[in-house]
Structure 1
Amino acid sequence: MPPALQAPGILSRLRTETRPYHDTVEQNPFNQALTAGTITASDTAQFLARMYGIVAPYEARMQQQATDFGPEWQLEQRYRGHLILADLTRLGYPGTPPLCPAMPPLETRAQLLGAMYVLEGSTLGGQVIARQLAAAGIEGRTFFAGRAERTGPLWKQFTQLLEAAAATEDANAMVTSAILTFQTLAAWLTQE
């Protein structure tokens, strides 16, 4: 008798099922300018202001539900909105960045975990972006480099905690939330 097929883990599902939405986010004007080697401080400030519009409401919701996570998640080390504001000051961004008015639902722990997958994952690409901005001589890259040498270990810890959480959380809700977060991010980053 052949061995029973095991359902893929949550991390595998998230990678596979969100891939097209992740790829769409990568097509934003900031990434295009970065790839083309035409990135400017103004492009960077506009992108960071848009990121703040997603990150700030997400982090506010995470702070409201922090007790649902516990100390092992190290949420206080995962917040990065303040880094964006510091970068915007360095880049001379005027005013307060707009907040995204149409955030995906972040009411349940499963929904927060799906969004967390997207935003925690962005720390990995942020390391590459920080190096590209440094090579272009652009300040305001603290958000991208934010965790430096702790990025890899914090991501690994997150994925382990996510896999463990999937045993008690609605995996479909996590995947749906990650997809909606990517879709919201793609629309917000390209909105004029």
Structure 2
Amino acid sequence: MLSDKLKEETKANHQILEKRLVSQLKAIRSQQEYANLLKLFYGYFGGLEVKINQAIDKNLLPDNDERRKTQAIADDITALGGDVPAKADCDALPRIKNHLEALGALYVIEGSTLGGKIISKMMQQQLSLDKGLSFFTSYGDNTVTMWDTFKNALDSQAENPEQEAVIIAAANETFFKFGEWFEKAK
């Protein structure tokens, strides 16, 4: 299955990004610091979603509109009293020229929903938040179902090893560029 292969082939870049993110999360001590973290997500995911939407067809992923995260992030930033930043531009983002590359990028975005449940609990405990968590709580009780639906769509797309390689490369580039986005913000 492609989704299993993706997990293995992107493991190194995923772990590097996760390490950076977890250290930032643990250091958050105020709503403003949390809002600043959300701004990083908004900028990167916002720009990424624009590119993905240009390459994904409704027939490929019928629930694509439900999977958009940018508005939830913007709502959280606003709820915390912050200003919504600009979206990342092409130089900061991975190349997405076709539906296979878009699926690789979506693998990263959709996979983030699995960790979002843990992050939302962490922020609730650290900051006693009762707002600004809609992005990380994402699909709520439907998170696993939405992930499984995405993986099924993903697994049905690559028809040969070359197409698998395109998706894997796009996912790795998405993880890598997201890590660069965090580093530049420091």
1:121 to 1:95, Cα distance in 2 relative to 1, 3 A: closer
Instruction: Give me the TM-score of the superposition, normalised by structure 2.
Output: 0.88
2: CA distance, partners of 1:143 / 1:53: 14
Consecutive unaligned residues of structure 2, counting only runs of 5 or more, are: none
Query: How far is 1:77 from its partner?
Result: 0.8
Summarize deviations over 1:109-148 as a string: whole Å, max 9, x none. Answer: 1110110100000000001111111222133111100210
Consecutive unaligned residues of structure 1, counting only runs of 5 or more, are: 1-8
Aligned residue among 98, 106, 114 for 1:116:
106
* Contact 1:50–1:98 (Cα < 8 Å) also in 2: no
**1:157 and 2:154 aligned:** no
Moved over 6 A (4+): none
Q: How does 1:1-192 map to 2 (within 5 A)?
A: 9-28=1-20, 30-35=21-26, 38-67=28-57, 69-70=58-59, 72-94=61-83, 96-100=85-89, 101-136=91-126, 137-138=128-129, 139-167=131-159, 170-191=163-184, 192=186
Structure with max Cα Rg:
1
Q: Aligned pair count?
A: 181
Instruction: Give me the TM-score of the superposition, normalised by structure 1.
Output: 0.86
* Contact 1:73–1:158 (Cα < 8 Å) also in 2: no
Summarize deviations over 1:61-103 as a string: whole Å, max 9, x none. Answer: 2322342x41754001100100010011111113524525421
